[in-house]
Amino acid sequence: MIPAAFGYTRVSSIEEALAAIAADDDAKVIAGGQSLLPLMKLRLAQPGTLVDIGRLPELRGIERLDDGRLSVGALTTYAELMDSPAIHYGLLRDALPSIGDVQVRNRGTVGGAVAHADPNSDLPAVLLALDAELVLQSAGGTRTVPANGFFEGPFTTGIRPDELLTRIILPAPLDNAGSAYVSLEQPASGYAMVGVAAVVIVGAGGMIEFAGIGVTGVSDCPYRAAEVEHALVGSTGSAEVIAEAATHAVGDRPVNSDIHAGREYRAAMAVVYARRAIEAALARLG
């Protein structure tokens, strides 16, 4: 199909981008376009103006901050993130190679994926498990928000209409941390019908001090499975503890049902994949 008519402007600075989105209530920001353009062709999205931020160098690249955390520019592509020597997180190495195809990974941006907030997207689950932070900029200033709580519903986030996602902040890598991402993919699209990201930090005596469990594909938006995390923290991560903790992967959340997987199957697979992700994360310690 052919998209509905729209305006187009290519900006040369963040300030110009913010002015452009403020000037049109129906404006949409575009960078790689791997998510937005297909929706426009189906007329599921009909922006009044496309604000092209794809050539803003200040939104690209990965840098290590003074405190050891990593700052990832919103326009960094999947491929750039995957190939960066600064990335030492097992769950990112698991998730990134299976996102889309080579063309999508070379054009699609991590900021675009986060802002798009597809309920089946892999990257939000990873950021939730990592306890990442998101930097949002408006004409009035900059604010940093946690990934946990940022995803509010299908294709809905905490970004205000006058804001732009500029950077993603990842925690400093730790020697006593392990992480993994596992997913049950829909064979044709590659989207996760169920995807679970797990991060565990183990302290003295082999006790789990922190657990981050991000789940995608199961409910109407990606979420932190706090019930699973609470069941793991303070334990040594035995097989019995992991199996019991994984049973809380869904909790009382509504579960998606579609032509690919019914509610009961998705809920059952959430438990299976939560267990697998936790086991894989613990196996990577040291």
Q: What is the pLDDT of residues 87-143, one digit of tens each?
A: 889 999 999 998 888 888 999 999 999 999 999 999 999 999 999 999 999 999 999
pLDDT digits (tens, 9 = 90+) for 12-68: 999 999 999 999 888 889 988 888 888 888 888 898 899 999 999 999 999 999 999
pLDDT digits (tens, 9 = 90+) for 154-183: 999 999 999 999 999 999 999 999 999 999
CA distances from 283 to 50, 90, 177, 202, 276 (A): 45, 11, 10, 12, 11
pLDDT digits (tens, 9 = 90+) for 198-247: 999 999 899 999 999 999 999 999 999 999 999 999 999 999 999 999 99
Mean pLDDT of 247-275: 96
Burial of 188 (0-12, 13-18, 19+ CB in 10 A): exposed
Beta strand 151-153 with 156-157 is antiparallel
For residue 187, pLDDT beyond 90? no
The dihedral sign for the CA sequence 78, 135, 281, 62: positive
CB neighbourhood size of 197 (10 A): 35
- Apex CA 123: angle with CA 19 and CA 213, to 5°? 125
159 contacts 125 by C-beta, under 8 angstroms: no
**Domains of the chain by start residue, with CATH:** 7-52 (3.30.43.10), 57-170 (3.30.465.10), 177-283 (3.30.390.50)
Calpha distance 151→91 (Å, rounded): 19
Higher pLDDT pick, 66 / 3: 66
Tell me if the pTM is above 0.75.
Answer: yes
For residue 266, pLDDT beyond 90? yes
For residue 1, pLDDT beyond 80? no
CA distances from 242 to 114, 140, 193, 267, 280 (A): 29, 45, 22, 17, 11
Written in H, E and C, the secondary structure of the chain is CCCCCCEEEECCCHHHHHHHHHHCCCEEEECCCCCHHHHHHCCCCCCCEEEECCCCHHHCCEEECCCCCEEEECCCEHHHHHHCCCCCCHHHHHHHHHCCCHHHHHHCEHHHHHHHCCCCCHHHHHHHHHCCEEEEEECCEEEEEECCCCEEECCEECCCCCCEEEEEEECCCCCCEEEEEEEEECCCCCCEEEEEEEEEEECHHHCEEEEEEEEECCCCCCEECHHHHHHHCCCCCCHHHHHHHHCCCCCCCCCCCCCCCCHHHHHHHHHHHHHHHHHHHHHCCC
What is the predicted pLDDT for the residue at 286? Answer: 60
What is the predicted pLDDT for the residue at 48? Answer: 87
What is the predicted pLDDT for the residue at 126? Answer: 97
